[in-house]
Structure 1
Amino acid sequence: MNASRHFTSHRHGGPPRPPTAPLATASPFARQVQAWAQGPGGLAGHDLARRDLRGVVLDGADLRNADLTGSDLSDASLRGADLSGAVLRGAVLADADCSGARLDGACLAGSNAACCRLAGASLVRASADGASWPSADLSDADLSGFTASGLDLTRAVLDRSTAAGMTLHQVRAEHSRWRAVRWRDVAIHHGSLRGADLRQAQLTACMLDGTALQGSVWEHARWRAVTLAGGSTLRDARADTLRAPGCELPGMPQRPLQPSRPPRPADGPPRLIVVQGGA
């Protein structure tokens, strides 16, 4: 993936951010790591645990199976880096730029990636139990096989991301944005998507089990064989049309969308209308 591509801002409605620049106060060790990255084999398999790597620039570096447990990578630039199988347990990636990075099979448990740019990143079969990623930018990311329990995605942006076989337990994703995502065989158990924006989302064979969806937006979304279970509720959700053939939506209105007058202000926000049938 071309690491020089432009990515959207991780903040809702904000302008794109410039590429991460190295900190002037980068430690001598961080500068040494940058030199090692240019050598044969790069940093694959290196022990870089519990190191001060703030502002380090490792764009396109080979960090496969590297141990970065507990390291501080705040404001680092890892664009297009290969971190497949790397261990980032408890690592700090706040404001780092990992756009286009490969994190397949990586362990990100307990990591802090607040406002981190992971746009276009691959997190196939990665795990992130107990991680905190508020306001992170995961737009266009591949989350297939991704698993996490207790992940914080509050106000994160995941527009156009794809996921097949993703499993999330107790995820906190209030007011997050998932526009035009494509989910297949995704399961969310006892999570919260309150106030989330899922316009044009496409869900196939997914399970929302005990998931809070109040105030979420599903305009022009498409569900196929989606199951709401365990008390999941779409109360006060909004959608112009939610096409849901073959779905189990207990207690939800299921009627054709009928043309009607525009609502008056007194009518309040539009209610969700589920349209059964072909998409």
Structure 2
Amino acid sequence: MNADVILVGSLFTFTPGHPLGAAYVFRWNGSAWQFEQKLVSPDGPVGVYIGFGQSVAIHGDEAIVGAPNELQGGAAYVFRRANGVWSFHEKLEAPASQSGERFGSRIAIDNDRLLIADYSRRSGSVSIGAVFLYLRYGDSWILEQEYRPWTSQSFLWSGTSLALAGPEFWVGARNDNGAGIGAGSAYLLVNQFDCNNNNLPDECEPDCNGNAIPDVCERLGDLNGDGFVDVDDMPAMIELLLALSSDCWHLGDLDQNGIVDGDDIAPFLGALSQQ
């Protein structure tokens, strides 16, 4: 769930021409939750169970649906919403997967950070689990780092639950025996990002729109900080042009001449057309 939208997975839904599984988007209309759209896998064997919908995550106009039984070791499917319609955008596949792995078993998203778990990830012949951190670069998600538990305990199942907030994330390991047989545990990990490699952690850099991305690393024209230059940025751009606001003005200075003026309109519209 994110703000006024909910994404619900359904593992065994049958849709002609697609693998089993679906995810359903519901949106709050002010008085009730209203069905918006059904999301299905864009590929895979027709009618075959791939676990599509076992895990879901949504943030703004972006939805990610996990399919840990996808035949190549699991996958996560990214959908984006434009003009009120959700469409498939990209498929994230298990990195260097082995037989029996379950990439996409759990998913968490927070702004420009995405976590995808594979709770059956192997270390040699031992299944211990792992979590993969992706960062948004431009229009795509790029793998940043793989995290594995500090122990090689068999069937630790690290990544059976996830929570993500900025640079911190929690990883559940329900079979961790550190506090007793099958007691389970949760690991807190902190990733200090440095998007411009100036040896200053991102959380210490100025962040005018509060989206956890330093101003120096924001995409020009993305005034609301959602990772895209789209029509949602137009009201803020108009306010800057009319000098009604100075918030995040540097993101509206697309021609980089130090001011927001009429010369920024053409590059802003150009950025819009690329969405």
What TM-score does the superposition give when structure 1 sets the normalisation length? 0.25
What TM-score does the superposition give when structure 2 sets the normalisation length? 0.25
Structure with greater helix percent: 2
